[in-house]
Amino acid sequence: MQSSKIAYLIQAHEDPENLLRMINALDDNNDFFVHIDKKANVDPFYQLLKAKNNVFFMEDQNRINVYWGGFSQVEATLNLIQKCLIQNDINDSDYLKVIFMSGSDYPIKSKDELRNYFVKFKELNFIRGMNITQANTKKYNYCLRNYLFFDFFLINKKVTRFSRKILNILGSTIFKKPNYVLENNGNRIDIFHGSSWWALNIDIVKYIDTYSKDNDNLKKYFQYSLASDEKYFHTIFFNSRFSNTNIYKGPEPYIPTTSAFSNMHIIDTSLSKWFDEKDFNFIKASDKFFVRKVSTKNSKTLLDMIDFELL
């Protein structure tokens, strides 16, 4: 049985005030699963949100030290998925949609608009991607074929600059990976790339969880790749029986910019811009449902305008 509840999977590491504000803006009998980067102090987040019985924080033992560009981002998301699926079973009814977001996001459409949209398109998965194995470009071959040690170097800060240089040289010359993955059963699959932020039906979320547990080869491959969170889930989705259930009925042609594959978010092409009140008219005219990135420090006036005029 399917409910009208939406599950939000949220990764955050700073700005607890914005996380509270975002959850309040989205809280319409929904559930929120929150992973706070293990490097951050969880207490300020917990103190602001502890009164909400529909906010589920990741337990300390399952929190991950998350580093930009590293596989740690995928690990944190997989832990959120598992926590969400446990609650889905407890609820005894399936979530309408599972939406992956960050603590730097904010809705730009009302709760009713969002829910009505998902009810109308309840069969669709909102995840876009392109086949970068077939594209075979220099840019994406660098991300895939080289052994890149983002998590390793940031966790092991005592590794000398010389050792880092040697590892990077070896990882980009002698020890190179193919631009495809072999599943545990030996089947070759292509790799797909898209935006990190997606909205999926519960059946594909369950499939991702099961597939990840059964195919550690995929994890091993992406453990030393750049921006695995923009490839891991897309690779599973577009190599599955669900691949034609997204809004474009499958993957799209090659596009060189990741922001072009945004699903429900406004994302600047730089991927790093903080939106502010000067962007309000642009945001108001958009057909997207969320804006990224915003913060209490950089975007308070904008968020006030969104609350007053759009939500």
Specify the pLDDT at position 132.
86
Q: Tell me the three state secondary structure of residue 94.
A: strand
Q: What is the CATH number of the domain that holds 227?
A: 3.90.550
Which residues are paired to 193 by β-bridges?
Answer: 130
Specify the pLDDT at position 10.
99
Specify the pLDDT at position 69.
80
Specify if 167 maps to a domain.
Answer: no
The phi, psi pair for 208, rounded to 5°, reads -60, -45
Q: Are 127 and 196 in contact (CB under 8 A)?
A: no
Specify if 149 maps to a domain.
Answer: no
Q: Are strands 6-12 and 31-36 parallel, antiparallel or unpaired?
A: parallel
CA-based nearest residue to 236, from 122, 77, 5, 16: 77
Specify if 100 maps to a domain.
Answer: yes
Whole-angstrom Cα distance, residue 30 to residue 8? 8
Whole-angstrom Cα distance, residue 197 to residue 102? 8
The model's pTM is 0.90
Specify if 164 maps to a domain.
Answer: no
Domain that holds residue 80: 6-135+181-310
Q: How far from 122 is each of 34, 107, 116, 182, 266, CA to CA, in Å?
A: 24, 19, 9, 32, 22
Specify the pLDDT at position 269.
87
Specify if 173 maps to a domain.
Answer: no
Specify the pLDDT at position 6.
97
H/E element, 75: helix 72-91
Q: CB-side exposure of 266: number of CA atoms within 13 Å?
A: 23
Contacts of 237 by beta carbon, 8 Å cutoff, 6+ apart: 125, 127, 129, 192, 200, 204, 208, 243, 246
Whole-angstrom Cα distance, residue 284 to residue 214? 44
Specify if 169 maps to a domain.
Answer: no
Specify the pLDDT at position 220.
87
Specify the pLDDT at position 50.
94
Q: CB-side exposure of 52: number of CA atoms within 13 Å?
A: 23
Long-range contacts, stretch 68-71, CB < 8 angstroms, 24+ apart: 68/150, 69/148, 69/150, 69/226, 69/227, 70/150, 70/151, 70/154, 70/228, 71/150, 71/151, 71/219, 71/222, 71/223, 71/224, 71/225, 71/228
Whole-angstrom Cα distance, residue 161 to residue 157? 10
Chain-centroid distance of CA 89 in Å reads 22
28-78 pLDDT, tens per residue?
899 999 999 999 999 999 999 999 999 999 999 999 999 888 899 999 999
CA-based nearest residue to 181, from 146, 144, 210: 144
Specify the pLDDT at position 164.
52
Number of domains in the chain: 1
Low-confidence ranges of the chain (pLDDT < 50): 151-155, 162, 169-174
Instruction: Provide DSSP, 155-172.
Output: H-TTS-HHHHHHHHHHHH
Whole-angstrom Cα distance, residue 146 to residue 275? 34
The radius of gyration computed from the CA coordinates of the chain, to the nearest angstrom, equals 19
Specify the pLDDT at position 170.
42
Specify the pLDDT at position 235.
96
Q: Are 189 and 183 in contact (CB under 8 A)?
A: yes
Q: Tell me the three state secondary structure of residue 64.
A: coil
CA-based nearest residue to 226, from 104, 72, 80, 101: 72
